[in-house]
Amino acid sequence: MTDLLDQLRTAVGDGHILTDEADMAAYVVDWTGVHAGRARAVVRPGSTDEVAAVLAACHAAGVPVVPQGGNTGLVGGGVPDSSGSSVVLSLGRMRTIRDVDPVAGTITVDAGVVLADVQVAAEEADRLFPMSLGSEGSCTIGGNLATNAGGTAVLRYGMTRELVLGLEVVLPDGRVWDGMRALRKDNTGYSLKDLFVGSEGTLGVITGAVLRLFPATPRHATAWVAVPSVEAAVSLLGTAQQHAGAHLATFEIANRQALDLVLAHLPGASDPLAEPSDWYVLVELAGAASDDGLDDALEAILTSAVDDGLATDAAVAGSPAQRSSLWALREGISEAQKVEGATLKHDVTLPIASLASWASSMGPILEEVLPGVRPVTYGHVGDGNLHYNLSAPVGGDDDLRAAAHDLSTAIYDSVAAGHGSISAEHGLGRTKAAAGASYKSAVEVDLMRAVKAALDPRGLMNPGVLLPRLG
């Protein structure tokens, strides 16, 4: 395998290949700390051609490749297993924004551009790139594409998939598919881009994309609303849609446990309301500079909500700074929960109509499996998507780890029975590859394996991710 390393060195340049354990450490452990693998090498190509050379070399040598963006994934999809046989291919050096076309409403990017940088480039052209998530300061657009990322703007703009017009992908054997179209409509064959989006690096490596831009929404009306229950939150969503229509941009939920963790661990966070509530909703309307009815519409939503018993109190942001601090309460949950201690993450969708009853049914079931377990629940209620995360009982991190499989199984069984999904937006990665397959029909798993075998016949792209290994 010295040959392979030499080839990789030639492909990316001496300074962009890491083989020392210490140098590789940041690339082989994921953000959650759950997945700590090993790699033969980490290569950091600087161009599509270099990615192609890396894949061709690994393909010839029969060596598995693990593509990696910002390494912010939550299901171990971007880090290698413990065998040490894989090459990690980091896209982090490919950071060029190739083009911004505000008239056509497109932005063309390298895969390694950080999501926040895509947002900023759009803003500088007086346009909006709507994708927004907690890790936007470090995740890369390539990772967002590979996982079909969700986030807080899905309600209005859809998942990552719906923001993609064209893709550039290096195939497992090193050939490059140039699918960089900038067209809204193109019915000339199978939708290959939709196959690569969400494939978690198991079919090829996305190196570039043409993405949609939208009219800028510089005006906002934002409130942090105390609601008595998930059921009330779902009803409030209807009220908000009725009053705000297409201006409704955000509708996020969090329970009191989630807020408590943020107040405890996030410097400067404070509860915007006087009385505690079991549940909260962050609601935001967004519009163009000329949309001067947003504040009135928000007021109408809140008045109607209080009248109907759907809300008990609300804090309306009176300035950009206040808006940021309300958002920080929502965006800080994941980080705060990490500081608190051991966490078991779940990212589920249910039909919105059954979301409330599902959420209230889970508490007692989990309490039976692990007394004292603390559900820290938040997420995108407008999409039927809850991050149903479990913090350990106080002082019981080891207990949580020991009960992890039983707790997750109880949750997934219940989600499956309710016709939901066990991964709304995080993907399956390594963590859920086996669970994902176990809740699917044999026909569906066969179809997925047929697609995988067709595009990656040697099984070298991110093996063990998305689909469990055979045998």
Residue (of 331, 314, 326) closest to 152 by Cα position: 331
Write down the least CB distance from residue 87 to a second copy, Å: 23
Question: Is residue 448 a contact point for a second copy (CB under 8 A)?
Answer: yes
Write down the least CB distance from residue 351 to a second copy, Å: 6
- Taking CA atoms, 453 is separated from 10, 68, 203, 380, in Å, by 30, 22, 9, 34
Which residues does 418 contact at the CB level (< 8 Å), separation at least 6? 350, 351, 354, 358
Please say which residue, 56 or 428, places its beta carbon nearer to a second copy: 428
Among 352, 369, 404, 410, binds a second copy (CB under 8 A): 352
Residue (of 331, 224, 220, 326) closest to 279 by Cα position: 224
Residue (of 164, 134, 128) closest to 151 by Cα position: 134
What are the tokens at 274?
């006087």
Write down the least CB distance from residue 181 to a second copy, Å: 7
- Binding to a second copy (CB under 8 A) within 195-214 occurs at 195, 197-199, 203
What are the tokens at 91?
């896209």
Please say which residue, 87 or 169, places its beta carbon nearer to a second copy: 169
Binding window for a second copy (CB under 8 A); candidates: 271-279, 315-323, 359-367, 383-391: 383-391
Residues 143-182: x/- map of binding to a second copy (CB under 8 A)? ----xx-x---x---xx-xx--------x---xxxxx-xx
Do 88 and 44 contact (CB within 8 A), yes or no?
Answer: no
- Binding to a second copy (CB under 8 A) within 332-351 occurs at 349-351
Among 60, 120, 339, 447, binds a second copy (CB under 8 A): 447
Specify the 3-state DSSP secondary structure of 195: helix
Question: Is residue 417 a contact point for a second copy (CB under 8 A)?
Answer: no
DSSP structural state of residue 364: H
Write down the least CB distance from residue 451 to a second copy, Å: 5
- Please spell the DSSP secondary structure of 221-283, one letter per residue: EEEEEEES-HHHHHHHHHHHHHHHGGGEEEEEEEEHHHHHHHHHHSTT---SSSS--SEEEEE
For residue 181, the surrounding DSSP H or E stretch is none
Write down the least CB distance from residue 14 to a second copy, Å: 30
Specify the 3-state DSSP secondary structure of 428: coil
Write down the least CB distance from residue 162 to a second copy, Å: 6
Question: Is residue 245 a contact point for a second copy (CB under 8 A)?
Answer: yes
Among 406, 454, 458, 469, binds a second copy (CB under 8 A): 454
Distance CA 210, CA 145 (A): 11
How many positions of this chain bind a second copy (CB under 8 A)?
A: 81
Question: Is residue 377 a contact point for a second copy (CB under 8 A)?
Answer: no
- Binding to a second copy (CB under 8 A) within 214-243 occurs at 215, 241-242
Question: Is residue 6 a contact point for a second copy (CB under 8 A)?
Answer: no
Residues 83-112: x/- map of binding to a second copy (CB under 8 A)? ------------------x-xx--------
Question: Is residue 81 a contact point for a second copy (CB under 8 A)?
Answer: no
Question: Is residue 76 a contact point for a second copy (CB under 8 A)?
Answer: no
Please say which residue, 117 or 347, places its beta carbon nearer to a second copy: 347
Distance CA 462, CA 97 (A): 26
Question: Is residue 413 a contact point for a second copy (CB under 8 A)?
Answer: no
Cα four-point dihedral sign 357, 351, 385, 37: positive
Distance CA 202, CA 295 (A): 46
The gap from C-alpha 70 to its chain's centroid, in whole angstroms, comes to: 12
Backbone region of residue 64 per phi and psi (left: phi > 0; alpha: psi in -120 to 50; beta: other values):
beta
Among 330, 387, 426, 430, binds a second copy (CB under 8 A): 426
Question: Is residue 422 a contact point for a second copy (CB under 8 A)?
Answer: yes
